[in-house]
Amino acid sequence: MSLIHTSHLPVPPPTVVDQPQNLTLWQYMKPIRAKWLTGVAVAICASVIGISIPQVLAWIVDHLVANENPSGSTVWAGGLLMIGLGLLQAGLIFVRRMLVIDQASTVEMSMRMSLFDHLMRMPAAFHDHWPSGQLLTRSTSDLSLMRRWIAFGSIQSISSTVMLAAGLFYLFRGSWLLGLIYLCSVPFMLLTLWLFVRTMKSLTRSVQQQSGDLATSVEESVQGIRVLKALGQGQNSLSRFTAQASTLMNTEIARSQAVGSMLVKTISITAVTMAISLFVGIHQVAQEKLSLGELTAYFATTAVLTPQIQRAGMLISMWLDSKVAMERHREIMQEPVGEDVLLVSGVTTPQVSRHDAAGVKFEHVSFTFGRGKKEVLHELTLDVAPGEILALVGSTGSGKSTVLQLIPRLYAPTRGKVLLDNTDISTIPLPELRAQMAIAFEEPVLFSSSVRENVLMGVETEKFNSEELESIVATALRVSASDFVDTLPDGVETLIGEEGMSLSGGQRQRLSLARAIACDPRVLLLDDPLSALDVNTEEAVVGMLKEQLKNTTTIITAHRPSTVALADRVALLDKGRIAAIGTHSELMKNPAYARLMLLNPDDSTAKNHTSQNQEVL
């Protein structure tokens, strides 16, 4: 049984990124290049046909003017030819769309998958400093801009350029003087467009950046909606959001104004050019240097060309959108992934057979969350024997969660080594390392799927039949005292809302614990997993966990003595150093530890359990 059925989805080939700093849209287009180039060729044919239609018009007009009794058949033939060419052009435009639209969507999907794959493989440190809204817009709207460019903008730009060249050829062939007049307007047009590009470039980047910031705000506000409501911060939050939204609106308006001003300038240049051409053209017809048909063709040709030139502004803005979007995409793709897992290519979790519990060692480990940040762990040395349950205690901020996160290599030590069964974990491939451990985080995170799917998330479900899976779920729920699941409307099949928000904090915590237990890992890492439970439930869970974890090395961080009761040994962490290690009663002689434990009212539970522990020891 697979939790997510993806087999029916089209999977675009992953893009192999050797040098992500040089990553281009062209590389992503590799699988569709042939069709895209065919689309370009078809579009060029359509443009050439479109710009040639005025020549037929010239022929008809000249025929009408030259013959006093023009034959109807020539007019009919000319008219039918024009209709035929028009239909052919329309047909080619249709073929071009059919050729490219699906293909552009495939590139968009492939880019989206590469980006998501990259994001999944990024070390936790990357996600510490990248706002999620930015990642959201980069995987949604930015990529749609790129699809629009591939499907329309790029092809339109090429075909319009060819149309302009063919149009100029026809203009010069009709009358070199009129052709020259039209050509003289081109540098003015180019200057206008160049100024436009300069303005638009920075505005485009600002719009995309500000959209990302806005998405971050929406996300934070929706996630923290309860806090905002409870603190009566709705109005303030709205004001902050309004300020951000109006900044974005102003930038959008500035963009529209730039487009508008560019259009006014290009239309004015065109109007002046037409006026001069009309003046010169009529003069040339009067002097019989130009036929009436040729003059008609001139204006008909410029009538086709002018909208193309005016559209250049929109095409340039589309090109800039896609260019900036590609830069923003590259910015993420060139961040070193640092994790040797490849998701897109379908590399599955390695088959790590369940051995006995593994030993975990820290050797002189120092750690900082980033350059310039303070050192959180200093020369930490710790030896946890296979099958042992070790409690990590210490005041808040002493580094307990950090120690746990170094073991599955969510972060790498700055100095020193972490060893699993005496092997440096930096030498173990990540999938292999992580397949041997499970972690329940301090902040339980659930996903919007059923209770069963949440519990089985870390289990290789294909290895078990459905009865075995039922039994894994049942055991995990029993040991974590998640009996509340029976009272949910559909039991284990109940869909839990976004991030499990429909459950209480304690219920979420127990499901998160159940998920970690269900993996039956060699090393279980529990970050204060019972903090939201009442003392009775906690006692029940501690009893069942102790039984369940006989063959699992467990490191559990705790604030409450009642959770410490689970442990064979306790390590006291003080400002990133192990200050003391031993059984609970040994450590009670340590004044700092005693103070930490005695501060807690349910200390009696710990004393009872620790006396049992000592009997075991």
Ligand X SMILES: Nc1ncnc2c1ncn2[C@@H]1O[C@H](COP(=O)(O)OP(=O)(O)OP(=O)(O)O)[C@@H](O)[C@H]1O
Task: Tell whether the torsion through CA atoms of 304, 307, 309 and 314 is positive or negative.
Answer: negative
Q: Which of 337, 376, 485, 555 binds ligand X (CB under 6 A)?
A: 376
Interatomic CA distance for residues 122 and 134, integer angstroms: 15
Tokens coding 532: 């939201």
**Smallest separation, CB 189 to ligand X (Å):** 53
Number of residues that bind ligand X (CB under 6 A): 13
The single-letter DSSP state of residue 493 is G
Query: What burial letters (b/e) apply to 330-364, b meaning 16+ CB within 10 Å?
Result: bebbeeebebeeebbeeeeeeeeeeeebbbbbbbe
State the binding string over 435-454 for Mg ion (x if CB under 5 A, else -): -------x------------
379 binds, among ligand X, Mg ion, none (CB under 5 to 8 A by kind): none
CB 127 to ligand X: min, Å: 9
CB of 514 to ligand X, least distance (A): 21
CB of 376 to ligand X, least distance (A): 4
Q: Which is nearer to ligand X, 291 or 557 (CB)?
A: 557
With contacts defined by CB under 5 A, name the span among 70-78, 137-145, 399-407, 451-459 that binds Mg ion: 399-407
228 touches 237 (CB < 8 A): yes
Using CB under 6 A, which of 20, 54, 359, 394 touches ligand X?
394
> Which among 168-176, 212-220, 336-344, 396-404 is the span making contact with Mg ion, rule CB under 5 A?
396-404
Closest approach of Cβ 369 to ligand X, in Å? Answer: 3
Helix (H, G, I), strand (E, B) or coil at 364: strand
Burial of 3 from C-beta contacts in 10 A (0-12 / 13-18 / 19+)? middle
Roughly what angle, to the nearest 10 degrees, separates helices 33-66 and 72-121?
Answer: 160
- List 398, 605, 610, 613, residue binding ligand X (CB under 6 A): 398
**Taking a C-beta distance cutoff of 8 angstroms, is the pair 416, 365 a contact?**
yes
Residue 586's CB: how many other CB atoms inside 10 A? 15
Site string for ligand X, 431-450 (x = CB under 6 A): -----------x--------
Q: How far is the CB of 404 from Mg ion (least distance, A)?
A: 8
The yes or no reply on residue 586 touching ligand X (CB under 6 A) is no
3 state SS of 553: strand
Taking the least distance from each CB to ligand X, the nearer of 162 and 406 is: 406
d(CA 400, CA 404): 7
Residue 369 within binding range of ligand X, rule CB under 6 A: yes
Please pick, from the candidates 132, 401, 475, 585, the single residue that binds Mg ion as defined by CB under 5 A: 401
For ligand X, the closer of residues 247 and 401 by Cβ is: 401
Q: How far is CA 213 from the centre of its chain?
A: 14
Smallest gap, in angstroms, from Cβ of residue 369 to Mg ion? 13
| Residue with smaller CB distance to ligand X, 8 or 373 | 373
CA-closest candidate to residue 469, choices 481, 455, 483: 455
Binding site for Mg ion (CB under 5 A): 401, 442
Binding site for ligand X (CB under 6 A): 128, 369, 373, 376, 394, 396-402, 442
